[in-house]
Amino acid sequence: VNVFYQPLEKIAAVVETYPKGIAGFRNYQELMNTEPDIVDRPDAHDDLVLSGNLAFEKVTFGYSPDRTILDDINITIEAGETVAFVGPSGAGKTTLCSLVPRFYDVDDGRITIDGTDIRDMTMKCLRSQIGIVQQDVFLFAGTLRDNIAYGRLDASENEILDAAKSARLDDLIASLPAGLDTVIGERGVKLSGGQKQRVAIARIFLKNPPILILDEATSALDTETERAIQQSLDDLAKGRTTLVIAHRLATIRNADRIVVITQDGIAEQGSHDVLLARDGAYRRLHEAQVLRTG
């Protein structure tokens, strides 16, 4: 069934609704820091410094052998480019992105970064080059400093402060009695959803990876907070290869490229303006959303 033959209302609803996510990807922060099931090849590279040219080459994948989710997907993404994936729920946007940090391995084809198959890098090397921002932010009971430095415990005071500033946490820090040493969480200062998002963003500024995956991170926040967070995310994406798993079209208008994924694979790709000028799947998604939101 081609989903684009469904009523427009239905497609728009699907694009707007925040996803439940998939179990594996949802708990990414824990996943990124636990020992992976996948074992490094004996001769895998451990010390590559990557610039972030990313390519999906004939990628085929299914969670089980009887059902293929991604079939022969080809996408080439240049270092620094922002690519947004849109399309109906269940088309495989999250799945496609979860293959990059190797939460799962492809069944066929390959994914390369700067020309090297990601299976020829150690998991540590690969994942140190990727930052992921998603809806659920994992904070632990401890100081704000420790929460920002999570994942980069060797960071200096200045590096932590710079990251906090880039994520626009500096006003919050200045307002807290003990600044970075303020204990947050259950027994300390409770952070708002937007502030938690900023901590997650600060962590990634500190990690400074060339590749970024944004699982539409702002949709549970009020409009004003959302706009502010969006600005921080735009800053974060600058100079990095960024994959956006998009659920609303408004936030991805400025992406360098939009890739429309359906159950049948890649329906079309191009900039917002180019795709809108075409009478295709993207225009129909867009028109449906405009109709709905007035």
Interface ranges with ligand ATP (CB under 6 A): 19, 22-24, 63, 69, 89-95
CB 49 to ligand ATP: min, Å: 30
CB 158 to ligand ATP: min, Å: 38
Handedness of CA 147, 149, 154, 158 (dihedral sign): negative
CA–CA distances in Å: residue 289 to residues 16, 247, 292? 8, 11, 5
CB 107 to ligand ATP: min, Å: 13
Q: Residue 88 or 194: which CB sits closer to ligand ATP?
A: 88
CB 25 to ligand ATP: min, Å: 8
Q: Residue 83 or 172: which CB sits closer to ligand ATP?
A: 83
Closest Cα to residue 231, out of 40, 289, 221, 68?
A: 221
Q: Residue 22 or 39: which CB sits closer to ligand ATP?
A: 22
Q: Residue 92 or 210: which CB sits closer to ligand ATP?
A: 92
CB 219 to ligand ATP: min, Å: 12
Kind of pairing between the strands at 82-86 and 241-245:
parallel
Q: Residue 87 or 210: which CB sits closer to ligand ATP?
A: 87
Kind of pairing between the strands at 183-184 and 116-117:
unpaired
CB 102 to ligand ATP: min, Å: 14
Output the CA angle 31-37-39, nearest 5 degrees: 120
Q: Residue 88 or 131: which CB sits closer to ligand ATP?
A: 88
- Determine contact, residues 132/101, Cβ cutoff 8 Å: yes
